[in-house]
Structure 1
Amino acid sequence: MKFDRVRLRNFKCYADADLRLDPGVTVIHGLNGSGKSSLLEACFFALYGAKALDRTLEDVVTIGEDEAIIELWFTHEGGNYHVRRRIRATGERATTAECVLETPVDTVEGARDVRAEVTKLFRMDSEAFVNCAYVRQGEVNKLINATPGQRQDMIDDLLQLGKLEEYRERASDARLGVKSVLDDKCGSLSELDAQIEQKEDKGLHERLNNLKSKLKETEGDIDRFEENRETARKTREQAIEVLETYEQKRDELDSLSEDIEQLESEISQTEQKRAEHGERVRDLRERVEDLNDQIADLLAETALDSADEEAIENRLAELDAEDEAVADELNDAKTQAQMFTNQAENLASRADELASDADDKREAADEREAEADEAEADLESRCERVAELDAQIETERAKFEDAPVEFGDAEGLLEDRREEKSDLQRRIEETKANLQSARDSVAEAQELLDEGKCPECGQPVEDSPHVDTLEEDRERVAELEDELADLRDQREEVAEAVEHAETLVEAEREVGNLRENRKLAEESVADREETVEQKREEAESLREAADEREADAGDKRDDAEELREKANDRRETVERLEAEREEIEAKRDRLDRIRSLRSDRSDAEDDIERHREKRASLEDQNDLRRDRLADKRDRRSELRESYDDQKVQTARENKQEAEDYLEDVAVKLDELSERRDNLQTAIGGVENEIEELENLRDRREDLLERVESLESLRDEAAELQEMYGDLRAELRQRNVEQLEQMLNEVFDLVYQNDSYARIELDGEYELTVYQKDGEPLDPEQLSGGERALFNLSLRCAIYRLLSEGIEGTAPMPPLILDEPTVFLDSGHVSQLAELIASMRELGVEQIVVVSHDDELVAAADDVVYVEKDSVSNRSTVERRESLVEAAD
């Protein structure tokens, strides 16, 4: 996968930018703050939207503008893709107004769906993208600074192993869910077994047979009684025919008898009522006399001369006024008694709280003293640490006592010595070349002399003007040999001087570290001294506060006792006033009693008059009834002379017997019908229970099959859970081994240093660097540049692992490095350039680097120069082909 083109409008510092990105190494070059990193952020934002932002959408839109548009064209697995995002910032907050991803097969719309499609394409979300392919500015040490657990989660997620853990957890949840359902079904199965056993113990089939036999007997009895009932009905009809002839006379005779009985009864009842009214009049007269006596007795106990209503009303009004005054005084006394009691209790409670607070403060003061003692003990060890650091600083500075430079100038000395060494090496090489040339000349001349020819012109030696030059050449060889030996001696001396200068530089660096540590230690000492003083002051303040609380508690207890005495005085007043109110109430009760008795007497006198009037009215009514009674007795005598009592009596007896039997047989038939219904109901109930028993047995069979299936499913889920766990462990181990191999390959390729032998990555992603002598080092112990290079190597190794895959290659996004040289010196920058070149040789199709380092720019295939206008504060981009052009 590679980026092809990015186009921006009103994105951060870019008003309008359009940049083409080619395969190979592209360096984005420019001054600090010109907007280089914003180009990479735009690509990242185009892919993942808001998930790629550290802040909010408002930061995306250029200040003063309402809308920003970000477009990215990229190629993935041979297909062309185009993503477009439009951000609106016209309301209270910015929103995504448009988000479209055009793929080779369809179009995806909506920020959420586009982000999901990009995640699916790259097989990594935004977090995985920055952990693998995008080394953001300031995050070069992200992986090494992470804990092993965090590093494990990052790399597992990148390698899709987190999915296996997710699947394992799902299998675990499924196993637990199946177990829960299985336990429920087993409980239901046990419940069904109990229900089946309970119904089988009832002997349902035997009960059904007995009930059916009883039902047959009952139905036979019903048939027999229904036949007898029909016979009785015929007998009753015959008796009714006989009685019909005498019915009219009998009805009249009965009616007369009833009227006579009723009149006699009414006369007797009326006479009884007259006697009752007379008796009631006598009783009421006695009641009136008794009430007069009671009124006289009660009146004697009052201060009244008469019991008339006006006198009673006036006296009651006086008592009400007196009672109201006493009640007001009583309420005031009760209120004051309660008030004094509440105040006393509140003061006593507050005194207890103050005493408890005093105890707490003394206890807290003791704790502060203990903490101060602990801080003083710790202070001594910190002071010792400062002294140790001072001694170490002096030890390092002592290395400059015999040094040719002052402390702080070691870097310049080292540079001079290295230049001197380099110059000597060059001179040695030149001398070696001259020496070799001189030796060749001597050898050639000697060969010519041996042949009898002049070494200068090749003519015969005799009479040659140049015969003496051979000796000069030999002297020249000797001089050059002496010069070469001298230069080599000088080189050895300079090499020792370089080593000494390196020692001095390292001492300066160590002093710098020690001074920083000493500064921290001094701050720690000052902080601990302040803590000791603060704890002592807090303890003293707490003790003073405790004394104040205890004194306040004593004062409040004294005040509470004084208030209790006042409350007791008010309670005595309450008792006296309550007694006065009780006496007033007794007087009022007597007056109310007199009034009630007077009312009763008036009612009794009214009743006497009413009973007298009723007694006279009843006497008139009885006179009229006696006349009517004589007429009805005469008519009844006439009807009795024409009536055949014997025949009527016989017919009545037959009719009565038939009706009695019909009534009895109806009851019996009702009982038998009820019995038959009960038996049928019972039979239906037993049959239902038998059907329920069969249903329970069928349900048990189904449930048993379900339980067996769930048990098998539970075992399968457990096996699946174990399989995912084992598979993740196996894949992690394979990844660790392959990642360790790739990391060592990358590190060996770019880090030319004889100090380190190898890097070890264990199964928990714990990283260890081994020196040549086998001594292990934590990556944190490396220098800043070494640590940064180490982290870049780890990032590139992870990128290689993901790109090559465990079982085949996988399409990967561009390798993006944003300001990777922040922590690197010039030597480490060269190694970084070799690292980038090696990643390209390993097949990384596109590498984008943001940097202002000239060495990285020189190694680039393409250079993108970013410049910001100081007036408009807007950035522009321009492609340039070389370092010279970029520098211009």
Structure 2
Amino acid sequence: MRLVRLRLVNFRQHADSDIAFETGLTGIIGPNGAGKSTILEAIAWALYGGNTLRGGNESIRFRRAAARAPVRVELEFELAGHRYRVVRGLSMAELYLDGGTEPIANSVTAVTDMLQRRIGMTRTEFFNTYFTGQKDLAVMNALTAGERAQFLSRVLGYERLRVAQELCATRRKELASEIAGLRAGMPERDAVEAQLRETDAARTAAERAAAEADRLEAETKAALAAVAPRWLAAQTGREERQRLETELAAVEGEAAALTRAEERLVSELAQVAEARAALQPLLPDVAAFEGAQAELEAMRALEVHDGRRRALLETQGALAAEVQALDEQRDRLATAPQLEEQATVELEARRKALEEAHGTLEARRTEWVRDRQEVDSRLRALRGQYAEMRDQRDKLLQLGEEGACPTCTRPLGAHFRDVLDVLERQLELVESDGSYFRSRLEQLEPMPADIAHLDELRRKLQGEVGPLERRLAKVQAAVQQLALVERDRQGKAARLAATTAELATIPGGYDAGRHQALEAEHARLAEVSTLANRLSTRIEREPVLKREQEALARTRAALAARRDAASARLAALQFPEEDFAALRRLHDEVAAAYAEASRAAAGARAGRDIARDGARRAADAKAEHDRLAERVEALEQDRRLHDELHRAYSDLRTDLNFQLRPEVSEIASSFITELTDARYTELELDDKYRLVVLEEGVPQTVISGGEEDIANLVLRLAISQMIADRAGQSFSLLVLDEVFGSLDEVRRQNVLTLLRGLHDRFEQVIVITHIEGVRDGLDRVITVGFDERTGGAVVGTVEPAGGDTLLLEAGSAA
């Protein structure tokens, strides 16, 4: 495997870095934390995905990248004659082969699985083969013998045998638990067979009893079938006799009802004759009733119109009085619009004069207040100045000629009297000014006469504006009231005209005395008419009553015929009651015997079914016992197989561990022969897995530090070679990460010399370190720095001749 190119975009410290790998011994040098080991993480992440990262995918994005900025690693490498290019992001992955434009795998899982198959190694095997981490060269020195053996087994993949053996042991325990559970739940075989025999015997006896019960049921059923027709015929004849007797009783009842109906009809016909005789004297009054009713209805209508006329007359009088009152009120309010115009003009004039007086007053008052404040301020300033100058004078008088000048602070000396005279003159001038301004303030204290006059004029104008405003409001209210009065007067005048017109349309002629006489006559004739109507209704029923008489006569003849026919059929159906009772007893006995036989047969059949179910359950229990026995036997065989497999795993691990030391020793010896130019040709692991260097077959108990580095290096190379051989891959790539940390300068150079001596075996060796001193021993140097301005890594390369550093593409370099 050979690395060709690596590009990192927003990956950890690298915003945008592009690295080309060459053959030979390459060093990646930079300070701690700059992002050197991140390059190895990116290679592993591109090949095997997110489970190779420190901190997982959550910490992968460049910390200064945008929230949704893409994270991508692109790796090109050669393997088994093909060139692969893998592109992996947080949620995508693509794999290209031999420069193709279409990916051969395009999902995260598919790319990871295909690369693992092509490389032939798991992630752990890949790391243990090609990568040597910090301080891993001497990792076995600090371990015990058992820990050394476990370390070698783990890196060579022998731990999978231990995991498989543990799975085998777990399965063996599960099989033992399942066998014990099955045996605990299985019944004894003898008890199962005894139960099967008992249920078979019970089923045979139940089947014989059911057959006998079925035979008895059939015999009694046949006897019942022989008696049933005779009993049915006897029952039918008896029911017919009962029906005929009931029918004769009904005929007698209907005949009695006909007699009562005939008597009622005779009585009603006699009442009809009496009503006809009583109706004749009432016919004249009945004829006069209709005319009296018509005249009464006309008089009632006139009464209604007369009431309406009286109401309209009252309304007419009231409306006429209201219209007259509104006319008078309208005349009183007719001058309101003219008064409103006059009051408005006068009010506007007074308001304008008030505004002018108010403006003049405020201007004069502001001027007076400003003058007074100015004089007061000047007076306070003079008082302060006077006090300060008086203090200076008193101080000068107190100190005399030794006092300091108030201006330059130097001693006055001979100038004392001059300075004092100046201060005295200034004090007199300030005192004179103060007297003037105190007098001026006293003059300005009372309000000036012109301001008082303006204020009095303003109050006078305000007193005149108020009454004018109230007068204008009253006049405006009168104008509004005039409009309301006019509308009200028009409405009521219209109603008055309508009322007068309606009075002209109402008819007259109502007579209250005539109305009262008509009401009395109508009441008397109404009683006569009601009596005549009742008599006429009774007379009108005479034809109906006669038809009912004829129908009753026909019904009586039909009843007589029905009575004669029923009597004749009843005489023909005479059957002795003693024979009927004897037949009923015989039928009841046979029916009871059949019912008892049926119940017994049903019970026998139920017992037979129960016995059969018991026999079937016993057979099922025996079959289940046999099945569980077979299952236990199969599990026993499986358990014996896992016991043998567990022993085989133990033997295999023992054999592999036994073969491990000679195989590691042989491969390490070939490496040490090449690295030391055959000075040392043999290196082995003793029974405690400690490195022992042999010189001409003699163990070297004391070796130098450089020789110890050689031994540690060849041991690590031998382990990697064994892993690569088991994976079917060539061991052509070696990556060492910070392996110089604990070595001094001499031993570092020894390790570089050893690595350079492996160029025939390793096509590509990459060393990652923060130590600048190893730069001269490398074929090619890739530098990794940190840009504090952008917060990202800066990647560069140094030509083999030691030229200037060339910056590669980096997102942090702009």
Alignment TM-score, normalising by the size of structure 1? 0.45
Alignment TM-score, normalising by the size of structure 2? 0.49
Q: Which has the larger radius of gyration?
A: 2
